[in-house]
């Protein structure tokens, strides 16, 4: 096959993957987006040549779906897009190796297993960037994937890869097999797509005529403060007044929770000095005026530490301290509760230990000049007199399904996402981030209250439906009656079991291949010695 035809198929695969991604309505493209790459893998004999084609396709996908990172950090965009495309090539190279060595069936299974292993690693290692996990593609079509309460996004990754493989086999044999085989394979592909979609319909609550509202409401505030100016200490008092004013306009006797966005309290005051800080007195006065509410807000803070840690730095007078991007729960006459963001953005909020030497290269946003410290586990906020047990999810953390589910195991009955999406401007970035929150609602069957500094704040029900949302670039607040849902889904109980299962299988396959390679080397050595 001519090289320009292969390049054409490469570009086609990248465009199809990009076109399927939220917030595009063309989600269905994902079911055949990998078919061109599977075709190329069969037509190229050299591994290095296929690597080039795969890299170009995956680079197009990464660039067209996450280009908006450039708006906040040019270096961050390059580091996110190019290395991620390279990492995505690894499962495909593994597929080619196993297909050529063990046949197409083992090859196809290896592609699924290696891709699942790749996504699972990308959810858990220091350079974590699971924005393009295949399971996220249906964030725009949540009515298709209500079964995420059983599988999480890993189930969709398995679904998409299986359909692509079967469709490719169908197309490849279209001209050489009999009609009976064609019909049989077409029926299998149709069922593989239709059955999960039908199950989703049955789980979606579509047949319910009444969606119960809660007796207590949540006030969600979107202050619409420029993220590049909000850390100016001179305007901190004014920003707090905006937050309080917007909140006061919506609070009523049924309000139990007020939600402010990430780093809403942006003055860098030490944790143990919050009550005494003059700039925060209006906040505590506001809470005291409304003793029945709990205020959950993002805060930029720090703590003096006695011993050096990975993320500690020194003040001008030589004291060690850690900076925190945190959430704080404030209620009148009750102790403050603090949660420090655990899932930090690589290269922006933290650097992997093996890349510390690149620290000066990465520009910080979020008001710090170095890396943040992180919490080791999730924390659910519980306040006396408040029916809501909140899961304080901070920004980037909302794309981690299994991590979000750990809040439910600790008693959370509502997901509260606080974020600051204005860094990217009015681009697909903040819309994708909102859409991913819908998946967390389905996985946990909990309502989501989302407060964004600059669009889009929203309420999402347990089926992933957006019940109310704000516009981009507007200062506003709204209230919504939300039920505090109890119980745990199968996914909450067992987490990413699909990822873990296929990861073990992938490692076993790699181990077996290594054993065979070792035996071959030993036989060659013995032959030479003879």
Q: What percent of the chain stands above pLDDT 90?
A: 69
Is there a contact between 70 and 62 (Cβ–Cβ < 8 Å)? no
Q: What is the pLDDT of residue 233?
A: 60
Q: Phi first, then psi: what are they for 304, rounded to 5°?
A: -75, 130
Residue with tokens 């979020």: 366
Residue 514 has pLDDT above 90, yes or no: yes
Listed range (14-18, 129-133, 306-310) with the worst mean pLDDT: 306-310
Q: Is the pLDDT of residue 180 over 80?
A: no
Tell me the two tokens of residue 463.
């089926």
The whole-number pLDDT of residue 471 equals 94
- The tokens describing 343, both together, are 């899932």
Determine the pLDDT at residue 179: 54
Kind and range of the H or E run holding 342:
none
User: Could you give phi then psi for residue 142, rounded to 5 degrees?
Assistant: -65, -20
Which phi-psi region, left, alpha or beta, contains residue 38 (left: φ > 0; alpha: ψ -120 to 50)? alpha
> 477 by DSSP, 3-state: which?
strand
Which pLDDT tens digit goes with each residue over 263-283? 999 888 999 999 999 999 999
Range of lowest pLDDT (12-21, 123-132, 365-374): 365-374
Percent of the chain with pLDDT over 70: 91
Measured CA to CA, the distance from residue 525 to residue 496 in angstroms comes to 43
CA distance 338 to 371: 19
- Scan for tokens 């964004």, then name that residue: 452
Q: Residue 201: which pLDDT band, with cuts at 50, 70 and 90?
A: confident
CA-nearest of 433, 346, 333, 445 to 391 is 445
Q: List C-alpha distances in Å: 282 to 206, 239, 246, 277, 530.
A: 45, 11, 14, 10, 87
Least confident of 62-71, 81-90, 133-142, 341-350: 341-350
pLDDT in tens, 224-240: 988 877 766 668 889 99
Q: How far apart are CA 110 and CA 100, in angstroms?
A: 12
pTM of this structure: 0.91
**369, 339 contact by CB (below 8 A):** no
Exposure class string for 461-483: b at 16+ Cβ within 10 A, else e: bbbbbbeebbebeeebbbbbebb
Instruction: Sort 303 into a burial class: Cβ within 10 Å, 0-12 / 13-18 / 19+.
Output: middle
């Amino acid at each position: 096959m001519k090289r320009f035809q292969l390049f054409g198929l490469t570009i086609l695969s990248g465009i199809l993957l990009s076109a399927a991604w939220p917030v595009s309505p063309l989600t269905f493209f994902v079911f055949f987006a990998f078919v061109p790459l599977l075709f190329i893998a069969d037509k190229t004999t050299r591994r290095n040549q296929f690597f080039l084609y795969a890299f170009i396709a995956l680079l197009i996908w990464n660039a067209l779906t996450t280009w908006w990172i450039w708006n906040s950090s040019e270096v961050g965009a390059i580091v996110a897009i190019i290395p991620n495309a390279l990492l995505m090539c690894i499962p495909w190279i593994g597929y080619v190796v196993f297909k050529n060595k063990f046949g197409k069936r083992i090859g196809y299974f290896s592609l699924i297993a290696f891709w699942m292993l790749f996504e699972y690693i990308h959810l858990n290692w220091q350079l974590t960037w699971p924005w393009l996990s295949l399971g996220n593609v249906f964030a725009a079509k949540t009515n298709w994937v209500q079964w995420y309460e059983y599988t999480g996004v890993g189930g969709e990754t398995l679904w998409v890869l299986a359909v692509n493989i079967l469709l490719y086999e169908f197309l490849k044999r279209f001209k050489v097999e009999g009609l009976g085989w064609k019909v049989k394979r077409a029926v299998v592909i149709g069922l593989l797509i239709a059955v999960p979609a039908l199950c989703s319909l049955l789980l979606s609550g579509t047949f319910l005529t009444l969606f119960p509202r809660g007796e207590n409401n949540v006030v969600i505030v979107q202050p619409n403060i420029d993220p590049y100016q909000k850390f100016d200490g001179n305007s901190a008092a004014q920003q707090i007044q905006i937050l309080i004013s917007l909140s006061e306009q919506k609070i009523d006797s049924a309000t139990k929770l007020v939600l402010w966005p990430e780093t809403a309290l942006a003055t860098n005051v030490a944790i143990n000095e919050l009550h005494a800080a003059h700039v925060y007195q209006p906040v505590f006065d506001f809470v005291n005026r409304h003793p029945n509410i709990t205020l959950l807000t993002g805060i930029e803070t720090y703590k003096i530490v006695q011993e050096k840690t990975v993320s500690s730095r020194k003040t001008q007078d030589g004291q060690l301290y850690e900076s925190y991007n945190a959430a704080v729960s404030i209620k009148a006459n009750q102790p403050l509760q603090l949660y420090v963001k655990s899932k930090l953005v690589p290269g922006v909020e933290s650097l992997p230990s093996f890349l510390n030497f690149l620290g000066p290269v990465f520009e910080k946003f979020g008001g710090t000049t170095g890396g943040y410290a992180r919490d080791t586990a999730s924390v659910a906020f519980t306040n006396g007199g408040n029916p809501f047990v909140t899961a304080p999810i901070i920004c980037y953390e909302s794309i981690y399904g299994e991590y979000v589910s750990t809040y439910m195991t600790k008693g959370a009955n509502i997901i509260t996402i606080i974020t600051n999406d204005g860094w990217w401007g009015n681009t697909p970035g903040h819309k994708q981030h909102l859409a991913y929150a819908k998946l967390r609602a389905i996985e946990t069957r909990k309502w989501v209250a989302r407060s964004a500094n600059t669009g889009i704040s929203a309420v999402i029900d347990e089926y992933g439906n957006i019940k109310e949302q704000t516009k981009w670039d507007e200062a506003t607040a709204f209230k919504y009656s939300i039920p505090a849902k109890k119980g745990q889904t199968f996914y909450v109980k067992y987490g990413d079991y699909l990822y873990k299962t296929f990861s073990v299988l992938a490692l076993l396959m790699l181990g077996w291949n290594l054993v065979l390679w070792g035996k071959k080397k030993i036989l060659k050595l013995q032959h030479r010695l003879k």
